[in-house]
């Protein structure tokens, strides 16, 4: 019989793995690289500082289920929202 | 030197209209004063005397006939493209007639110079600009506030009596507070925006006036609105205060001055102070930042980001690149939070007429290191300031910063916010507050005008 996969990897496939801290810190260079965006060391330091500031509240925002809040159609910021 | 030079904006307009001041003399005196005082401030990055003289020669008999005005580097002029305080602003910029320019021209005003601004409008401090930072007339080692840094510095030092700024996340109100001025962020859509490079996409940016006091703001904003903003005595104001970090994580002197001013306003109008709640406030701040920073992404491509002018500051380059990493789902949720905050505010404004809290939680920080000391610790000025400034831009409501005190020889500002379209009420309330404190803070002059340092 010929195996089409390596049995040693089976436990890895399709299972959730927690992201470790090291992987999380790769987010910036990996994200920029994936988009084909270059950044020098100073820019990376700036982005890192911004990330440190913005990411915790962004994660908090992402944890909210906002599906019950409708988006205003024809948003008119010069007036109160239609009740 | 023209005697009209040190009059209020409305005083200059009235003196010229009555034939008591000569507009040509006032223009030349203004240009001379800019030459004299601006080198220490870097408030104005360009003058164009011949263009200004041509404007004056063609000026109609409008409400600002012959009055010199500075306009922020965020607006194109027929003879000059805006630079947005930056070596590279991504968006295309070219000379043209912006809405504020047209409004000023049609009112008979004379654009006398372009005001400095924080690079890309990206900070509340004003300490980074392609032209070098503008400086605060109260202490030239301190931030003038941003992003309308130059307009505020120019008016505080009385290079001119009025200036046009723009406010996307507090950018009129922060410099008004830092420089001891009155600055109105109008209801979204009420003031002239045509010609702004983000006019078609931004849901947070508005044009507005920076002046010494509310009456001058009323005059200049009437021109920008294209309608006369009526003056009146405010009703017995129901003043909402929120016991949250915007009013409590604040430097003690700022808190004391603002609480005293709120009590002055209450007493002056025979109103009441009501403690209220705004549970979405903290999330609304992030939502504003996400929305404002996403709306300008249309012109951004990886290739364009890789070709940024290296004269743009590393902070500017880094933040532009970081924007593309912001998750779309966060921006979607930010939009929903905006809806929620607008509904909460609509209900809140059934209970109160204005909401009051400090415009910024501490006085102007040093240009070299814009950090502020708050009860919670040391924060960047931007992180601290945005807490109180963002809500009005997120929801569209008007907001005004009024000078109400001083600490360390630097001004303190109180912010008042009202329901959509109630810009006039804010101006009325600001005037009532000025009268309640004998106009002490709106008439205080900074050392750049040869005055003695302020006492609290």
For residues B445 and B15, what is the distance between their CA atoms, to the nearest angstrom?
22
**Shortest Cα distance, chain A CAs vs residue B293, angstroms:** 12
For residues B15 and B21, what is the distance between their CA atoms, to the nearest angstrom?
5
Contact A37 B306 (CB under 8 A): yes
* Residue pLDDT, tens place only, B67-89: 999 999 999 999 999 999 999 99
**Order of strands across the sheet that contains B410-418:** B44-46, B110-115, B68-72, B162-167, B206-211, B182-185, B399-407, B410-418, B354-358, B238-242, B272-276
Q: What pLDDT band is residue B3 in, cutting at 50, 70 and 90?
A: confident
Instruction: Indicate whether A12 belongs to any domain.
Output: no
Instruction: Indicate whether A4 belongs to any domain.
Output: no
What percent of chain B shows pLDDT beyond 70? 99
Q: What pLDDT band is residue B455 in, cutting at 50, 70 and 90?
A: low
Instruction: Indicate whether A83 belongs to any domain.
Output: no
| Domains identified in chain A, total number | 1
Residues in chain A: 83
Instruction: Indicate whether A35 belongs to any domain.
Output: yes
For residues B224 and B101, what is the distance between their CA atoms, to the nearest angstrom?
9
DSSP, collapsed to helix, strand or coil, labels residue A18 as coil
Domain that residue A44 falls in: 31-62
Instruction: Indicate whether A18 belongs to any domain.
Output: no
* Residue pLDDT, tens place only, B219-267: 999 999 999 999 999 999 999 999 999 999 999 999 999 999 999 999 9
For residues B58 and B62, what is the distance between their CA atoms, to the nearest angstrom?
11
* Residue pLDDT, tens place only, B379-426: 999 999 999 999 999 999 999 999 999 999 999 999 999 999 999 999
Q: Does residue A10 have a pLDDT over 50?
A: no
Residue of B449 and B252 predicted with greater confidence: B252
Tokens of A70: 């409708």
Burial environment of residue B102 by CB neighbours within 10 A (0 to 12, 13 to 18, 19 or more): middle
Q: Which of residues 28-57 of A touch B (CB under 8 A)?
A: 28, 31-32, 35-40, 42-47, 50-51, 53-54, 57
Query: In B158-280, where does DSSP find H-type helix?
Result: 173-179, 214-225, 245-248, 252-269
Contact A46 B383 (CB under 8 A): no
Looking at every residue in chain B, the average pLDDT score rounds to 96
Contact A43 B317 (CB under 8 A): yes
Q: What pLDDT band is residue B2 in, cutting at 50, 70 and 90?
A: confident
Q: Is B336 on the interface with A (CB under 8 A)?
A: yes
Instruction: Indicate whether A50 belongs to any domain.
Output: yes
Phi then psi dihedrals of residue B279, to 5 deg? -60, -25
Rounded alpha-carbon distances, angstroms, from residue B332 to A67, B232, B337 = 10, 41, 9
Closest CA to B402 of B365, B363, B359: B359
Phi then psi dihedrals of residue B213, to 5 deg? -145, 180
Instruction: Indicate whether A14 belongs to any domain.
Output: no
For residues B234 and B240, what is the distance between their CA atoms, to the nearest angstrom?
15
Contact A71 B336 (CB under 8 A): yes
Instruction: Clarify whether B147 is annotated catalytic.
Output: yes
Q: Where do we find the tokens 């045509």?
A: B194
Contact B448, B411 (CB under 8 A): no
The pLDDT score that the predictor gives to residue A21 is: 55
Instruction: Indicate whether A67 belongs to any domain.
Output: no
Contact list in B for residue A54 (CB cut-off 8 A) is: 286, 289, 326
């Amino acid at each position: 019989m010929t195996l089409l996969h390596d049995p040693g990897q089976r436990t890895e496939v399709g299972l959730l793995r927690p992201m470790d801290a090291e992987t999380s810190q790769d987010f910036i260079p990996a994200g920029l690289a994936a988009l084909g965006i270059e950044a020098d060391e100073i820019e990376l330091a700036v982005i890192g500082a911004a990330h440190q500031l913005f990411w915790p509240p962004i994660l908090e925002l992402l944890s909210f289920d906002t599906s019950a809040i409708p988006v205003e159609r024809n948003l008119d910021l010069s007036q109160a929202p239609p009740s | 030197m023209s005697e009209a030079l040190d009059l209020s904006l409305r005083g200059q307009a009235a003196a010229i209209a009555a034939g008591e001041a000569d507009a040509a003399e006032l223009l030349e005196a203004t240009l001379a004063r800019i030459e004299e005082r601006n080198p220490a401030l870097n408030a104005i990055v360009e003058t164009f005397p011949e263009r200004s003289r041509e404007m004056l020669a063609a000026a109609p008999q409008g409400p600002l006939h012959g009055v010199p005005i500075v306009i922020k580097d965020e607006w194109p002029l027929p003879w000059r493209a805006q630079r947005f305080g930056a070596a590279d602003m991504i968006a295309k910029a070219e000379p043209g007639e912006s809405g504020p320019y047209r409004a000023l021209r049609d009112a008979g005003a004379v654009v006398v110079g372009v005001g400095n601004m924080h690079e890309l409008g990206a900070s509340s401090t004003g300490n980074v600009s392609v032209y070098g930072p503008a400086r605060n007339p109260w202490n030239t080692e301190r931030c003038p506030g941003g992003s309308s840094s130059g307009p505020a510095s120019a008016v505080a030092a009385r290079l001119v009596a009025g200036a046009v700024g723009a406010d996307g996340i507090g950018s009129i109100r922060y410099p008004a507070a830092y420089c001891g001025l009155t600055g109105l962020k109008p209801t979204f859509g009420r003031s002239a925006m045509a010609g702004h490079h983000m006019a078609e996409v931004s849901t947070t940016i508005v044009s507005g006036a920076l002046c010494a006091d509310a009456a001058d703001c009323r005059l200049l904003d009437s021109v920008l609105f294209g309608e006369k903003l009526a003056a009146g005595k405010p009703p017995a104001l129901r003043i909402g205060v929120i016991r949250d970090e915007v009013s409590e994580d604040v430097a003690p002197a700022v808190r004391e001055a603002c609480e005293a001013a709120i009590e002055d306003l209450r007493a002056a109008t025979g109103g009441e102070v009501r403690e209220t709640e705004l549970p979405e406030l903290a999330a609304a701040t992030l939502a504003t930042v996400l929305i404002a920073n996403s709306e300008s992404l249309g012109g951004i491509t990886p290739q364009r980001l890789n070709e940024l002018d290296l004269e743009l500051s590393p902070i500017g380059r880094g933040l532009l690149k970081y924007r593309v990493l912001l998750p779309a789902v966060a921006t979607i949720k930010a939009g929903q939070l905006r809806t929620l905050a607008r509904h909460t505010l609509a209900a809140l404004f059934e209970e109160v007429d204005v909401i009051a809290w400090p415009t910024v939680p501490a006085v102007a920080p040093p240009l070299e290191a814009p950090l502020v000391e708050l009860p919670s610790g040391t924060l960047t000025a931007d992180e601290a300031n945005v807490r109180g400034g963002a809500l009005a831009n997120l929801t569209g409501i008007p907001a005004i910063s009024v000078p109400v005190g001083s600490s360390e020889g630097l001004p303190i500002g109180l912010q008042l916010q009202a329901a959509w379209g109630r810009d006039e009420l804010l101006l009325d309330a600001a005037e009532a507050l000025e009268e309640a404190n004998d106009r002490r803070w709106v008439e205080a002059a900074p050392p750049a005008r040869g005055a003695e340092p302020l006492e609290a």
